[in-house]
Copies of this chain bind each other. A is one copy, B any other.
Amino acid sequence: MNKKTVFLVAGGDLRQTYLAKSLSANSKVYSIGLDKKITDKKIIPLNSLEDLKEKVNYVIMPLPVTNDGVNINMPFFDEKISLYSVIPYLDHNAVIFGGKVGKESAIFTYKGFEVIDYLEREELSVLNSVPTSEGAIQLAMEELPTTIYGMNVLITGFGRISKVMIKALIGLGAKVTITARKYSDIAWAKIYGCRAIHINDIEAFLPEFDLLYNTIPAVIFDEQRLALLKENCLVIDLASKPGGVDFETARELGIKTIWALSLPGKVAPITSGEIIAETIQNILSERGEL
């Protein structure tokens, strides 16, 4: 990537704006359809693709790329710009990046262009677990009239988000318990300073917790388990569909439950944009194009 490399950042939310800023430090960056309230001297905004007077090496599509399968997801732009309309402006070696790329990629691959989904990169998932963790902690701080310090917190699962949350919650002085199935996960959780309990044995411990974070995308918390929780235990579910909680039953039992999805873009759009920019740079570096 050098000063002659040309990026086009198209559509999306605040994350795309900060991604464009981040990339503009070392490259020429055009943008179309970003939030107009935030401007940056280094980014060249386009009103129309026709204003582009040079070929583009890399297009950065938003997350998700499209909502209707035809046009770029562009909530801050009055007109519609179709995915197809970008093709004439592409350098013959151009690469299209996007998040949650679906069947629409065929439009580009059919013409011989490579399409890369940055959401499939492991380091992006790792880095995104940081804003997710902070958003989840902020939620608990806002909801609870107690400190995180001294609280008994249960985290289900030992994936990326759990690992980041452990470090943050222990730093804040919570007493953290992890429940997982694999004995090696249990070993790790203990090494990282948690109490760790096998998922088969967790029920006896459920009445102890003041705060519960679920990260397992399967309904772990059915009526039987929900009934074991403390009355004022706060449940924050971070798992994607179907979530880990029987929300209906939780409501009937009077247990406060929050299903918190897509936290990175909500609580830290700047950081989220920078994470995508960093991931794209890693990809280019691996390809020897940086």
A residues within 8 Å of B by Cβ?
Answer: 14, 121-123, 125-127, 130-131, 134, 137-138, 141-142, 144-150, 163-164, 167-173, 182-184, 186-188, 191-193, 198, 267-271, 279, 282, 285-286
Contact = CB atoms under 8 A, between A and B. Distances in A.
Given A134-B148, A148-B134, A123 B183 contact: yes
Given A171-B170, A191-B130, A271 B146 contact: yes
Given A171-B168, A171-B172, A149 B134 contact: yes
Contacts of A268: 144-147
9 contacts: A122-B182, A123-B182, A126-B188, A130-B147, A130-B149, A145-B268, A147-B271, A163-B191, A167-B191
A269 B126 contact: no
B126 A147 contact: no
B142 A138 contact: yes
A170 B134 CA distance: 13
B184 A126 contact: yes
B168 A172 contact: yes
A61 B251 CA distance: 38
A138 B134 CA distance: 10
A137 B147 CA distance: 12
Contacts of A170: 171, 193
A269 to B, nearest CB: 5
Contacts of A144: 268
B172 A191 contact: no
A183 to B, nearest CB: 4
B149 A184 contact: no
Given A123-B183, A146-B268, A146-B271, 20 more contacts: A121-B183, A122-B184, A126-B184, A126-B191, A131-B149, A134-B148, A138-B141, A138-B142, A141-B141, A141-B267, A144-B268, A146-B270, A149-B191, A163-B191, A170-B171, A170-B193, A171-B172, A172-B172, A183-B286, A198-B285
A122 B186 CA distance: 11
